[in-house]
């Protein structure tokens, strides 16, 4: 007989199960272990479910996700424990308690983003308790997300992720070959083992993110390797803007990782740079000369799936 610790302790999060493709009506769903899963769609109710949990068609079980109401920006953390919803193409089905915490009704437009929360918050969800509310999504980003909403079903916010392949009609091939496997089209390679978790950059309650100074960015060059031009004049013209940007005060930090290759991959996605700070690698964009430029970059970084991104100053 399983002990309470087996059901609510850290070991209850493992092994993570992806599962085989399955059908609901005319739709074939293919579970995928997508680390940066990020989609918009609509919510359904998961009647009879306990705690602050959710059912999802393709996310690994168990996993954790932030759910944001696109009308209010309110964001909650849930533990994905089941497949579903089984009676609709809604993006996610939430337990009554989770839906109440979100303050939403079935059919509300939402965003679902897979995250790796700290262990204390995982423990709360495993024990059926509510995790603390996440930071509200700003209205500027909500406007962008609402534009991505489809009339029904869901839409991915990851540029290289094909939702249609994960939720394919039943007439699609049941056994795709390796070249066309959905997992190969995901933005981050899938893995059945837990990947190194990004270090959360969410500030503590009451903290002012902009007041936490960071060292200046390393001056990594983004200039592609080219055959030297016959005349040196174009080189001089291209160097001037870089010097101006390097003097900017504001940077946007998307995330920090303990693994350099993972940081490099995220930097390529958002067009940022990687700098080392101790044993962590920070992924940032900028620097920017003023806060409005930084806020514009922040909105793009968050829309790319990094909702914990923050603006920092270099002084």
Whether the pLDDT of residue 122 is over 90: the answer is: yes
pLDDT for 180: 39
* pLDDT per residue as tens digits for the range 28-84: 999 999 889 999 999 999 989 999 999 999 999 999 999 999 999 999 999 999 999
pLDDT over 80 (residue 152): yes
Residue 165 dihedral angles phi and psi, to the nearest 5°: -80, -30
Give the DSSP per-residue string, 95-145.
-HHHHHHHT--TT-EEEEEEE---HHHHHHHHTTPPPPPPPPPPHHHHHHH
Between residues 76 and 256, the one the model is more confident about: 76
- Give 286's pLDDT tier (boundaries 50, 70, 90): confident
Residue carrying structure tokens 């899938």: 190
CA-derived radius of gyration, the chain: 21
228 class by beta-carbon count within 10 Å (0-12 exposed, 13-18 middle, 19+ buried): exposed
Instruction: Return the DSSP state at 211.
Output: G
Mean pLDDT of 177-199: 40
Give the pLDDT band (50/70/90) at residue 164.
very low
Instruction: Catalogue all structural domains in the chain, each as residue range(s) with its CATH number.
Output: 8-185 (2.40.40.10), 209-218+239-313 (3.30.70.1070)
Q: CA torsion sign, 300 to 306 to 309 to 314? A: negative
- What confidence score (pLDDT) does residue 210 get? 42
Say if residue 169's pLDDT is above 70: no
- Tokens 């002990």 correspond to what residue? 3
Residue pair 95/67 in contact by the 8 Å Cβ criterion? no
Residue 190 neighbours by CB distance under 10 Å: 17
User: Are 140 and 296 a contacting pair, CB within 8 Å?
Assistant: no
Query: Which residues make beta-bridge pairs with 27?
Result: 24, 169
pLDDT at 258: 84
Q: How far is CA 172 from the centre of its chain?
A: 28
What are the φ/ψ torsions at residue 76 (nearest 5 degrees)? -125, 165
Q: What is the pLDDT of residue 82?
A: 96
Count of residues for the chain?
A: 315
CA 123 from centroid of its chain's CA atoms: 21
Give me the percent of the chain exceeding a pLDDT of 90.
44
Say what the pLDDT of residue 240 is: 38
Highest mean pLDDT among 114-128, 147-161, 247-261, 263-277: 114-128
Q: What's the confidence (pLDDT) of residue 315?
A: 57
Task: Please say whether the beta carbons of 288 and 251 come within 8 A.
Answer: yes
Rounded to two decimals, the pTM is: 0.54
Q: How confident is the model at residue 242 (pLDDT cuts 50, 70, 90)?
A: very low
**Residue 205: pLDDT band with limits 50, 70, 90:** very low
pLDDT at 104: 97
Site of tokens 């094909």: 162
**Could you tell me if residue 162 is left (phi over 0), alpha (psi between -120 and 50 degrees) or otherwise beta?**
beta
Stretch 284-298: mean pLDDT: 87
pLDDT score at 161: 54
Res. 141 pLDDT band, cuts 50 70 90: very high
Range of weakest confidence among 98-102, 167-171, 244-248, 299-303: 167-171
d(C-alpha 222, C-alpha 220), whole Å: 7
User: Closest Cα partner for 33 from 195, 153, 268?
Assistant: 195
Compare 256 and 67 and report the one with higher pLDDT: 67
Which residue has 């029904």 as its token pair?
152
On the question of pLDDT at 158 being above 60, the answer is: yes
Residue with tokens 């909403």: 149
Burial class (CB in 10 A: 0-12, 13-18, 19+), 33: buried
pLDDT band at 167 (very low <50, low <70, confident <90, very high): low
**Cβ-contact 245, 285 below 8 angstroms:** no
- Rounded CA-CA distance 205/302 in Å is 20
CA pair distance 122, 84, nearest whole angstrom: 21
pLDDT of residue 127: 96
């Amino acid at each position: 007989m399983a002990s309470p610790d087996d059901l609510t302790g850290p070991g209850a999060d493992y092994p993570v199960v992806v599962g085989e493709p399955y059908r609901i009506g005319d739709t074939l769903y293919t579970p995928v272990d997508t680390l940066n899963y990020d989609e918009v769609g609509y919510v359904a109710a998961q009647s009879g479910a306990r705690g602050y949990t959710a059912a999802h068609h393709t996310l690994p079980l168990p996993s954790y996700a932030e759910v944001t109401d696109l009308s209010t920006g309110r964001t909650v953390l849930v533990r994905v424990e089941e497949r579903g919803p089984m009676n609709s193409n809604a993006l996610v089905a939430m337990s009554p308690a989770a839906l109440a915490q979100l303050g939403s009704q079935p059919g509300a437009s939402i965003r679902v983003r897979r995250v790796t929360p700290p262990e204390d918050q995982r423990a709360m969800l495993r024990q059926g308790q509510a995790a603390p509310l996440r930071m509200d999504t700003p209205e500027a980003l909500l406007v962008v997300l609402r534009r991505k909403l489809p009339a029904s079903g869901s839409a991915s916010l990851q540029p290289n992720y094909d939702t249609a392949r994960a939720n394919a009609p039943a007439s699609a091939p049941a056994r795709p070959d390796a070249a066309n496997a959905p997992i190969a089209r995901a933005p981050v390679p899938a893995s059945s083992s837990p990947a190194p978790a990004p270090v959360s950059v969410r500030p503590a309650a009451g903290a002012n993110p902009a007041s936490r100074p960071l060292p200046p960015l390393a001056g990594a060059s983004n200039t592609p390797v080219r055959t030297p031009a016959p005349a040196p004049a174009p080189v001089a013209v291209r160097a001037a803007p870089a010097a101006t940007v390097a003097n900017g005060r504001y940077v946007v930090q998307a995330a920090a990782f303990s693994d350099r290759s993972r940081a490099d991959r995220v930097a390529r996605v958002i067009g940022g740079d990687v700098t080392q700070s101790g044993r962590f690698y920070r992924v940032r964009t900028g620097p920017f000369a003023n806060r409005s430029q930084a806020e514009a970059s922040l909105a793009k970084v968050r829309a790319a799936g990094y909702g914990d991104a923050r603006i920092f100053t270099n002084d």
